[in-house]
Amino acid sequence: AKEWMELDHLVIVCGHYKGIDERFIDLMQPEEVSIGDFVLTGGEVPAMAIADSIVRLLPDVVGGYASVEEDSFYDGLLDCPRYTRPRDVRGLEPPSVLLGGNHAKIDAWRKRMALDATRRKRPDLLEKRGPGL
């Protein structure tokens, strides 16, 4: 999405049912994109997902760019766990580090948990990042 955001224009061609005519692909040589390993009835929903992922990066679309930089995948990792109010939900509370007010410790916890989540759920993302984690 970051690369597409920089373009002057972007055309998303949506396949329907069985896809797009191969002659179009041969003639136009488009960048082909998949949003996952599943089949939908048409490309409209994936096109909307792609458009939304781009638009939210534009200034003033979300609260602030800092919140975009904390999103999943922005730095190639899944997101860390998130906690909201109330503090106690059926005896479950957020980790104490999140309640302590030490922003350096909170940032370190978030990075560690994002890395752990990525290792468990999407190790392929770590392979794309290369060595050095």
Q: Which domains does the chain have, with CATH numbers?
A: 1-65 (3.40.1280.10), 70-133 (1.10.1270.20)
pLDDT at 73: 62
What's the token pair of residue 133?
A: 């984690």
Residue 70, judged by CB atoms within 10 A of its CB (0-12, 13-18, 19+), counts as middle
Indicate the pTM of the whole model: 0.65
pLDDT at 74: 62
Averages of pLDDT over each 10 residues, the chain, 133 residues: 90 88 95 91 94 89 68 77 95 97 96 95 88 62
List of residues 6+ apart from 123 with CB closer than 8 A? none
What's the token pair of residue 40?
A: 């939908």
- Burial per residue of 86-123, b for 16 or more beta-carbon CB atoms within 10 angstroms, e otherwise: eeeeeeeeeeeebeeeeeeebeebbeebbeebbeeebe
Secondary structure tally for the chain: helices H, strands E: 7, 0
